[in-house]
């Protein structure tokens, strides 16, 4: 008997390298409704480096124990992960990352995302720091208007930090400048981040709808979903630190009062009811800060729910 038994050992999962045992495919070969793509970093700050580089591997490991369970009922989805029993997603592995070549990282991430979109798949990106969504969103050029639902403890509206305008603190400001991006809804802000009062004011002036974690706790998920236009093409940018650290310890700046896992699921499923999920990323997962694999499991569960929602809209 194993010294540390796990559910994968009981049900036959765990010995896989792709997300939840999904079929592996190159970007050029990918088929189905969605494709998982790892992106460890895009534009790291010199002071911290690629501190989320291990995120994609850790999130895949969090899903591995359930690889034999794709046909089982998922109660968060109310049925099987893939509703017709046919697995309709693939894992395209990781984009090559070079910490010394931020421009190359961005182009490789953008090109891989664009290739998946050209093949009719919905990109599901595993990060990686919060600079990753910039090249991912750039790949949607000409496919607008794109509504962004950002779920995050921070608003990411700095024009630059340490002289870098494409880093993790500037994601939503850069997104707002893209011609194909329409409405931006940002949910879950709390505590202190990189934003100054003027950055918040700039976001509001640009038409962004901000819903803080306190407002979400008081009013629930429904008013947030009403901010998403009906029948919208929705890109969901999910930062791990949006969740309470009791659920998601694997972040660089934990703060109390974050979303619960089930609040996050309600936001995801509600968004899918308002429109079509056109893309998803989960970023800022710091593998070295995880505790007992709890954060990796939580991240993997969110990705699984998203894959199921995408399969239902295909």
| Contact assessment for residue 266 and residue 306, using Cβ atoms and an 8 Å cutoff | no
| DSSP per residue, the chain | --SS--HHHHHT----SSGGGPPB--TTT--SSEEEEEE--SS--TTT-STTTTHHHHHHHHHGGGGGGTTSEETTTTEESSTTSS--EEEEEE----TT-HHHHHHHHHHHHHHHHHTTPEEEEEESSTTTHHHHHHTTTTS--EEEEEE-SS----S-BTTBTTSTTSHHHHHHTSTTEEEEEEEEE-S--S--HHHHHHHHHTT-EEEEHHHHHHH-SHHHHTTSPTT-EEEEEEEGGGB-TTT---SSS--SS-B-HHHHHHHHHHHHHHSEEEEEEEE---GGG-STTHHHHHHHHHHHHHHHHHHHH-
Band of residue 258 on the pLDDT scale cut at 50, 70, 90: very high
pLDDT tens sequence across 200-243: 999 999 999 999 999 999 999 999 999 999 999 999 999 999 99
For Cα atoms 178, 155, 136, give the angle at the middle one, nearest 5 degrees: 40
- Which tens digits make up the pLDDT trace of 95-137? 999 999 999 999 999 999 999 999 999 999 999 999 999 999 9
Mean pLDDT for 66-84 is 93
Mean pLDDT rounded to a whole number for the chain = 95
Name the more confident of 31 and 13.
31
pLDDT at 244 over 80: yes
CA distance readout (Å), 265 to 51, 153, 222:
27, 16, 13
* pLDDT range class, residue 1, cuts 50, 70, 90: very low
- How far apart CA 210 and CA 128 sit, in angstroms, is 24
Q: What pTM, to 2 d.p., does this model score?
A: 0.96
- How many C-beta atoms lie closer than 10 Å to residue 48's C-beta? 13
Distance CA 129, CA 170 (A): 12
Residue 9, pLDDT > 70, answer: no
- What percent of the chain is predicted at pLDDT more than 70? 96
As given in the structure block, the two tokens for residue 147 are 């509504």
Residue 48 has pLDDT above 80, yes or no: yes
Work out the pLDDT band at 156, boundaries 50, 70, 90.
very high
- Residue 262: per-residue pLDDT: 98
- Rounded distance, CA 100 to CA 311, Å? 37
């Amino acid at each position: 008997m194993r010294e540390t038994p796990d559910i994968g050992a009981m049900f036959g999962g765990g010995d896989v390298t792709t997300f939840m045992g999904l079929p592996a495919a190159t970007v050029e070969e990918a088929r189905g409704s969605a494709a998982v793509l790892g992106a460890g970093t895009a534009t790291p700050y010199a002071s911290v480096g690629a501190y989320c580089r291990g995120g994609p591997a850790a999130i895949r490991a969090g899903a591995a124990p359930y690889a034999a369970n794709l046909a089982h009922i998922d109660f968060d989805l109310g049925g099987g992960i893939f509703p017709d029993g046919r697995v309709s997603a693939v894992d395209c592995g990781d984009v090559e990352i070079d910490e010394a070549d931020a421009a190359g990282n961005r182009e490789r991430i953008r090109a891989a995302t664009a290739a998946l979109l050209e093949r009719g798949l919905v990109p599901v990106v595993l990060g990686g720091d919060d600079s990753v969504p910039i090249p991912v969103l750039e790949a949607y050029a000409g496919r607008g208007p794109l509504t962004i639902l950002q779920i995050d403890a921070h608003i990411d509206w700095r024009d630059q930090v340490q002289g870098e305008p494409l880093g993790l603190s500037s994601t939503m400001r850069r997104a707002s400048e893209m011609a194909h991006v329409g409405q931006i809804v940002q949910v879950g802000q709390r505590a202190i981040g990189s934003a100054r009062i003027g950055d918040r004011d700039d976001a509001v002036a640009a038409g962004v709808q901000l819903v803080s974690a306190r407002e979400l706790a008081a009013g629930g998920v429904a008013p947030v979903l009403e901010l998403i236009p009906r029948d919208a093409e929705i890109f969901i940018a999910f930062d791990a630190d949006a969740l309470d650290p009791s659920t998601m310890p694997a972040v660089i700046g934990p703060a109390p009062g974050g979303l619960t896992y089930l609040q996050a699921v309600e936001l995801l499923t509600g968004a899918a009811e308002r429109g079509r999920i056109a893309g998803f990323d989960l970023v800022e997962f710091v593998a070295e800060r995880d505790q007992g694999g709890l954060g990796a499991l939580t991240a993997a569960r969110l990705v699984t729910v998203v894959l199921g929602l995408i399969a239902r809209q295909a």
